[in-house]
A and B are shown apart, each in its own frame.
Chain A
Amino acid sequence: MATAVAAETHGHPPHHAPTATGLNTWKLGFWVFLGSETLFFGTLISIYMVYKGQSVVGPFPEDILDIPLTTLSTFVLLMSSLAVVLALEFLQQGRRGLALFWTMMIIVLGSGFLGFQAYEFTHFYKMGLTLQTNLFGSTFFVLTGFHGAHVTIGVLWLLFLWFDMYRGRLGPQDALRLEVAGLYWHFVDIVWIVIFTLVYLMS
């Protein structure tokens, strides 16, 4: 088995200890984790959709949601996904400067998205929408709040990787570390793609 694995990797050095599947268990485990996350967000989205239009007191979604602002924050998050794949591409190529630049871009764009969300939450609070106001407030803040928490974790994770890259402790041979963080980031992005349509555009 080990011989077969070595022969089929076309001479590339293995990135990990041999496993039965030939796959890195960390990456495989992370995909399983992302699978579980789809169920987590699926549940939150279900709750939002079930209670949609059931609020008996305002503010209601059509009174309060700011589509132009959210379109801008959606664009920012989409571009951060582009920054992830560019950072990974340049890290694999050993172009450290570009990898550092694009990793920092992810952090900046992700922080920008969080800034938009903080502004939106504050604005809604001032307009009288809280977790306790009505069903829309409860389900909206729980869904988008958990998404924002995931973005925050992603920003901190990438900041940690950026420092490792800056200090020379994350090179092309460790690209899998950035790839796994990138998978997490892309997942957060696709969750937002769905939220943007279901919560904002179908409001």
Chain B
Amino acid sequence: MSESHAMTGTAHHGGPADAPPHVGWRKYAMIGVILAIITALEVAVFYIDALAPVLVPVLLVLTAGKFFLVVLYYMHLKMDHPIFGRVFWAPMALAVLVVIGLILLFHVLPTLGKFSN
């Protein structure tokens, strides 16, 4: 499917490949409200002591939700030509792997007694 997009110059939304997709202002506004609600939830989770043990995973899930909402809908990657997504997600995946790898190397492995004197 993506090869066909590349050959024909069309995007998922059916218009010219480089034309910004039309999502509609109501949907954009709804996503804006959802983003605001998720931010409020993040801060609420931060202040609720009972949730301290699960703070990190909950925050990561909420943050990932905001991240994907902006990238897929506001940046149109969900509807736009697949090649734009490829050139963005590949280095993004590498960046995430670097961050996780370094956190493991400097913060997790030393606590397990490995790589420490």
Contacts and interface: CB of A to CB of B under 8 A. Distances in A.
A93 B103 CA distance: 47
B94 interface: yes
A50 B10 contact: no
Contacts of B25: 85-86, 89-90
A50 B92 contact: no
Interface band, chain A? 35 or more
A95 B29 CA distance: 18
B60 interface: yes
Given A8-B9, A92-B20, A186-B75, A45 B59 contact: no
Interface band, chain B? 35 or more
Contacts of A176: 18-20
A67 B8 CA distance: 49
Interface stretch (A72-80, A148-156, A161-169): A72-80
A202 to B, nearest CB: 6
A189 B20 CA distance: 19
Chief secondary structure at chain B's binding surface: helix
A60 B15 CA distance: 52
Contacts of B75: 182-183, 186-187
A82 B99 contact: no
A19 B81 CA distance: 14
A41 B71 contact: no
Interface in B58-74: 59-60, 62-63, 66-67, 70-71, 74
Contacts of B35: 78, 81-82
Interface in A188-203: 189-190, 193-194, 196-197, 201-202
Contact of B102 (A12, A49, A74): A49
Interface stretch (A25-33, A118-126, A138-146): A25-33
Interface in B1-45: 6-10, 14-20, 22-25, 28-29, 31-32, 35-36, 39, 42-43, 45
Contacts of B6: 21-22
